Amino acid sequence: MQAVITIILSVFFFLISSSAYSTTFFVGKIPVVIEKNEFYSGMTGYIQLQGDIQDKNVSVYDIDLEDNAQSGLFSQLKNKGIKVVCYFSAGTYEDWRSDKDQFAADILGNNLAEWPGERWVDIRSATTRAIMAARMDRAASAGCDAVDPDNVDGYQNDSGFLLTEADQIDYLHWLAKTAHSKGLKVGLKNAVGLIQVGSLAQHFDFTINESCYDYQECGLLKPFIEKNKWVFILQYDAAKVPEYCSAAQNDKYFLAFFNKELDGATYLPCP
């Protein structure tokens, strides 16, 4: 009997660690479905946040929620079997967004130096969270498979608010829980220093990171790989292709090189 149990457990753990995100096996004549993460290690990805969206042969597209919600693009991609991740900024105000008037003055902080028209917001505020929940409602209604909430590291920046590490973790947990409650998967954007202390690989379904190899931080993403969750890395210096691609292959990360504008002008995935 012990040998049979060992075999069953071995098969079970093999199934949940394989790349497919849903597996069915039978106990006698009874089908048992194991639902797994839809964004798993080994997937390929493309991100473009400006300009006419280009056609790429990848598993996952990450594109702007508001710019594309009514274009029909989400359904076109999904009909090809591509997962659609919808981008929005969860930590900043942007003065070109349709919901910009919902941001009260008391939740607006300092400007982002490199991004005109963008300001940090107070992530502790109920108003901020109501706005972000509405954005996730829109993502769910538009047919997004997942969301990519950006700018979730305000506690490390000159935001204009006295944000603590605990504040940031609380907000990240809230984002993940809210996305899941709406039937969405959710990716962790950067915030590598909080992955361990906030158990973020448990709460988030995948992670998208910018430039971790430049900062020698990619090792902090390993908890996602340990859970067979997708790690998508963006780098912006194509001169590093040989060095970084070799490292990403060893780490089981998907890495691609882009220009910082993320407008489709550069896309160099590792071979």
Cα separation, 60 vs 256, whole angstroms: 13
The predicted-structure confidence for 208-242, as pLDDT tens digits, reads as follows 999 999 999 999 999 999 999 999 999 999 999 99
Read off the pLDDT of each residue in 189-217 and give the average, rounded to a whole number.
98
pLDDT at position 25? 52
Phi first, then psi, for residue 126 (nearest 5°) are: -65, -30
Read off the pLDDT of each residue in 3-26 and give the average, rounded to a whole number.
44
Domains and CATH numbers, the chain: 1-36 (no CATH), 39-269 (3.20.20.70)
pLDDT at position 27? 61
Statement: residue 16 has pLDDT above 60: no
Counting residues of the chain whose pLDDT is more than 70, the rounded percentage is: 87
Read off the pLDDT of each residue in 182-194 and give the average, rounded to a whole number.
98
Cα separation, 148 vs 48, whole angstroms: 12
Cα separation, 266 vs 260, whole angstroms: 9
Query: How many Å separate Cα 131 from the centre of its chain?
Result: 19
Statement: residue 30 has pLDDT above 80: no
The predicted-structure confidence for 168-177, as pLDDT tens digits, reads as follows 999 999 999 9
pLDDT at position 11? 40
pLDDT at position 1? 45
The predicted-structure confidence for 58-83, as pLDDT tens digits, reads as follows 999 999 999 999 999 999 999 999 99
Q: In terms of DSSP H, where are the helices of the chain?
A: 2-17, 65-68, 73-79, 126-142, 165-181, 200-203, 222-226, 241-251
Query: How many Å separate Cα 138 from the centre of its chain?
Result: 17
Of 24-28, 123-127, 240-244, 257-261, the range with the lowest mean pLDDT is: 24-28
Pairing of strands 118-121, 108-111: antiparallel
- Start-to-end C-alpha separation, the chain: 47
The predicted-structure confidence for 126-154, as pLDDT tens digits, reads as follows 999 999 999 999 999 999 999 999 999 99
Please, are residues 106 and 135 in contact by the beta-carbon 8 Å criterion?
no
Read off the pLDDT of each residue in 153-157 and give the average, rounded to a whole number.
97
Statement: residue 92 has pLDDT above 60: yes
Phi first, then psi, for residue 178 (nearest 5°) are: -65, -45
Read off the pLDDT of each residue in 98-124 and give the average, rounded to a whole number.
97
Q: Place 33 in a pLDDT band, splitting at 50, 70 and 90.
A: very low
Q: Place 5 in a pLDDT band, splitting at 50, 70 and 90.
A: very low
In 3-state terms the chain splits into helix, strand, coil percentages (rounded to 5) of 35, 25, 35
Using alpha carbons, list the distances in angstroms from residue 42 to 127, 202, 268.
38, 19, 17
Q: What is the largest CA-CA distance in the chain?
A: 67
pLDDT at position 26? 58
Cα separation, 61 vs 63, whole angstroms: 6
pLDDT at position 37? 79
The SS3 of residue 151 is coil
pLDDT at position 29? 60
Only one residue has tokens 């359904």, namely 75
